[in-house]
Amino acid sequence: MDAPEQEIEEDYRTAFELAGVGKAHVDLGTGRFTRVNSKCCEMTGNSAEELLGMTFKDLIHPDAQEEALKDFDKFVSGNVSDYSVEWPCVCKDGKTMWAVIRAKMLPSQAGQPKRMLAVIQDISTRKAAEQALLQAKIPRTDYAQELEQRVAERTARLEETIKSLDTFCYSVAHDLRAPVRAIHGYVSMLIEQHPQQLDETGKEYLKRIMAAARHMDDLINDLLVYGRMSHLDLPLGEVDVNRILTGILENLAGEIKARKANVDVKWPLAAVWGHPNVLEQILANLIDNALKFVPAGVAPQISIWSEEAEATVRIYVKDNGIGIAPGHQERIFRIFERLNNSKEYPGTGVGLALVKKGVERLGAKVGLESKEGAGSCFWIELTKTKPPATSQKTVSTA
């Protein structure tokens, strides 16, 4: 061996020995180690002498030896050009070290490879992290399922509590009507049967008490209706809106006449899918508001009609009332919300809340278009059950 070849060999030996990963020469025929570096000894816990007396199979964990030998045979036979595998290895102290092993054939002087160079890198830390992450996913999945179950249970308890509260409030409201009516009745009897014992101031006070009792009774009644609408079962079916609207207008005929109102209805209105009593409550409240919320001295002008789409029907109630500013249009559907002076526009503040609750129970929609001082147009959208009407005519009810 001349000087340049000696220098190359020395450089290779130095690089082989000082490498930061394990390096080893393996005889292709026997699988025995013929050369190892110090890093390889450090990783396995074996001395160089011990490793040189072993085959690569001796380092592979028994559970993986069969697969490792198959891969080695494929590499030696030339069926696999790139040998890069991850195997668990057994160290001298019995511990398992995960290693990634990359191999390359080393040419011989005769040209036929007889050995290979194996580069061994310890990846135990990475494998441990992967295993920890895998194990962590199982508790997270279990916890997610447990959390979902707990949420479902708490939701069920909350719904039961709300239902109980609805029932309790309904019962309390019902019981409150008796003393309120008693107050109204006794005050009325006092005014009628003992007028000589009362001066004008006393009579005025009693009249105010009666008015307050009437208002309280109206409020309790609205709350009872709201409560019933909240928790009673509502079987849905086809509803004849024309029949319902006719009944509402008949009930309001006295007030319509007293207010000199004009109600124009475009008959017939399309049938819808809903509940007749709930739909009657919704329309009655919308029409009552249209009669009530108009400027002083103005005769109410109300238009009612329906429009059909492919699967839905919208019923409109339009008025010439005081209107609602855009910023307040969400508020008016909240219970007890009032935008106007109660003396000028009396009411309980429950009407439109009943409309919204009824619409929700029917699985429908409600909305409005309005400008302050320019009237309002409320609409409810329900599922339709009949084909579009072939003809319409306008009828005025006064």
CA quadruple 144, 147, 152, 153: dihedral sign: positive
The CA-atom distances, in angstroms, between 211 and each of 115, 153, 206 are 110, 47, 9
- Classify domain 236-397 at the CATH topology level: Heat Shock Protein 90 (3.30.565)
Residue 209 pLDDT > 90? no
Contact between residue 345 and residue 325 where contact means Cβ atoms under 8 Å apart: no
24, β-bridge pairs: 36, 118
User: Looking at per-residue confidence, does 58 or 136 come out higher?
Assistant: 58
Contact between residue 230 and residue 335 where contact means Cβ atoms under 8 Å apart: no
Exposed/middle/buried for 386, CB within 10 Å: 0-12, 13-18, 19+? middle
Task: Write down the pLDDT at residue 349.
Answer: 62
Task: Write down the pLDDT at residue 343.
Answer: 56
Q: How far apart are CA 212 and CA 193, in angstroms?
A: 21
The per-residue pLDDT for range 43-80, each reduced to its tens digit, is: 999 999 999 989 888 888 888 888 888 888 887 777 66
Class level of CATH domain 3-122: alpha beta
- 102 phi and psi angles, rounded to 5 deg: -115, 135
**Mean pLDDT on 28-49:** 89
- 277 phi and psi angles, rounded to 5 deg: -65, -40
Q: How far apart are CA 340 and CA 322, in angstroms?
A: 10
The per-residue pLDDT for range 83-94, each reduced to its tens digit, is: 788 889 999 998
Residue 344 pLDDT > 60? no
Residue 392 pLDDT > 70? no
Q: Which residue is listed with tokens 């007293």? A: 258
The per-residue pLDDT for range 107-134, each reduced to its tens digit, is: 766 666 778 888 999 988 888 888 888 7
Q: How far apart are CA 364 and CA 314, in angstroms?
A: 10
Indicate the pLDDT class of residue 369, thresholds 50, 70 and 90. confident
Class level of CATH domain 130-230: mainly alpha
Task: Write down the pLDDT at residue 246.
Answer: 93
Q: Are strands 262-267 and 301-308 parallel, antiparallel or unpaired?
A: parallel
User: Looking at per-residue confidence, does 348 or 255 come out higher?
Assistant: 255
Indicate the domain borders of the chain. 3-122, 130-230, 236-397
Residue 172 pLDDT > 70? no
The CA-atom distances, in angstroms, between 51 and each of 23, 38, 119 are 12, 11, 15
Centre a 10 Å sphere on the Cβ of residue 299 and count the other Cβ atoms it contains.
11
Residue 387 pLDDT > 50? no
Task: Write down the pLDDT at residue 395.
Answer: 36
Q: How far apart are CA 15 and CA 117, in angstroms?
A: 13
Amino acid at 187: V
Indicate the pLDDT class of residue 391, thresholds 50, 70 and 90. very low
pTM tops 0.75, yes or no: no
In three-state secondary structure terms, 204 is helix
Distant-in-sequence, close-in-space partners of 242: CB < 8 Å, separation ≥ 6: 267, 268, 269
**Mean pLDDT on 158-186:** 71
Task: Write down the pLDDT at residue 134.
Answer: 75
State the DSSP code for 346.
Answer: -
Q: Which residue is listed with tokens 């579009």? A: 388
Exposed/middle/buried for 189, CB within 10 Å: 0-12, 13-18, 19+? exposed
